Amino acid sequence: MEATPVASPAKLSPSEAEGPLISISKMASAVQPSATMVAGAKARQLRASGVHVFDFSLGEPDFSTPPHICEAAIQAMRQGLTHYTPAEGLLELRVAIAGRYVGRYGLECGPEQVMVSNGAKHAIHNALTATCGPGDEVIIPTPYWVSYSDLVEMTGARPVLVETSRENGFRLSPARLGEVLSSRTRLVMLNSPCNPTGTVYSRSELVALADVIMESRAAILSDEIYENLVYDDAESTCFATLRSGLAERTITISGASKTYAMTGWRMGWAVGPQAIIRAMANVQSQQAGCPSSIGQYATLAALAGSQECVERMRREFDARRLLVCDRLRSLRAVRFCEPRGAFYVFFDVSALFGKRVAGQVIADSAQFCQAALEVGHINMVPGSAFGAEGYVRLSFAASRENLEAGLDRLTELIEDAS
């Protein structure tokens, strides 16, 4: 379902799409604006009009990029490293990224298997463009990150949405995966730790999925962007390493945005078989030239420097996670699975449907979010944007103080529902 387009960008109306002078392509007219970006814009707009917004919408770390990373960018600019780089990214950065996969996960990988893009979103777009087209199917377990289905549709391929449920922790089962795989399946998209549910699959659960996929001709796009944000005993797994032969059919996505609080730098990467990476680099060379040079030097410093900042941010996210879960647990009307990764809680508000919240009868998750924003000034993203109506996503990438105050208001709204 489409998010309410109260702020730019917004989906085009039919008359705009068929404007007389410049007609807009079918593909672009069909694209929905990213619901998370729309929600972020909404908060900005309200803030500009003087309202204090409890913004729990956009999934981006509220921390500043660590100083040593910013310093590396400044140095790069001073040294005149401000030119085009190779389309696939700087060799030294690709060596550092490959080295991290070898050292941390034991993936056999060299720089020729790495491509740097302008954000992980761009890396996913490149991967889909290089592998999918009309007639292909891409399996996406729901709830899924907002952009997956639109990015798939932009290639002409068809997203095959496969429902998972809270009862099994929003996990895709091997049996269900086996049922939906077909000769048309080009890719299976996996995302652990998951946005929006916070689900982290265990190694054995992923092995079971890998075994099913390996019986087919499908490839895997494993989005591991939240790999450094796991809690309790959850562990990040590099899907490509799980079975021999799996790396030859897996494209791994990650990046600097979430790990190093570098969302605005737009630095993401893909790791995969050399031929696919080369195809993706060809696409990128035509469509973006290369990723930002300054961003790449900053990312090099992020990977080479102390990882203490990553752990410090992770610990703070964990404290916020516990705070939010405690508060939500005290609300009888909402249900959720405790997240073990990323920085979101995805909770079920469907028990409130048909009731009055802040004076409005609530019929769906979008209306719930609208009421929470209008009356409580709490900004969240409706579950419908993630393919899971009935739910709401709360991002706890916000200060504890703001979370406490926002949750006080949310509690009031929910407890007063009648």
Closest of 57, 353, 47 to residue 196, by C-alpha: 57
Point out the residue whose Cβ comes nearest to ligand PMP: 119
Return the number of the residue (89 or 255) whose C-beta is nearest ligand GLU.
Answer: 255
CB of 195 to ligand PMP, least distance (A): 4
- Using CB under 6 A, which residues numbered 135 to 174 contact ligand PMP? 145
* Element spanning 281, H or E: helix 274-287
198 binds, among ligand GLU, ligand PMP, none (CB under 5 to 8 A by kind): none
Determine how β-strand 360-361 pairs with β-strand 356-357: antiparallel
Q: Which of 1, 26, 3, 2 is nearest to 14 (CA)?
A: 26
Which residue lies nearer to ligand GLU by CB, 252 or 395? 395
> How many C-beta atoms surround the C-beta of residue 113 within 10 A?
25
Answer whether 29's CB lies under 8 Å from 15's CB: no
Q: Residues 178, 122: contact at Cβ < 8 Å? A: no
| 120 contact, one of ligand GLU, ligand PMP, none, CB 5-8 Å limit per kind | ligand PMP
* Binding residues for ligand PMP, total number by CB under 6 A: 13
254 contacts ligand GLU (rule: CB under 6 A): no
Give me the least distance between CB of 324 and ligand GLU, in Å please: 16
- Among the listed ranges 22-30, 31-39, 355-363, 402-410, the one in contact with ligand GLU (CB under 6 A) is 31-39
Burial status of residue 286 (CB atoms within 10 A of its CB: 0-12, 13-18, 19 or more): exposed
Q: Rounded to an integer, what distance in angstroms lies between the CA atom of residue 143 and that of residue 127? A: 21
Contact between 146 and ligand GLU by CB under 6 A: the answer reads yes
Classified as helix, coil or strand, 122 is helix
Of 74, 71, 76, 78, the C-alpha closest to 93 is: 76
Nearer to ligand PMP, 177 or 342 (CB): 342
Give least dist CB 306 to ligand GLU, A. 26
Q: Which residues bind ligand PMP (CB under 6 A)?
A: 59, 119-121, 145, 191, 195, 223, 225, 255, 257, 263, 268
Q: Which residues bind ligand GLU (CB under 6 A)?
A: 34, 36-37, 58-60, 121, 145-147, 195
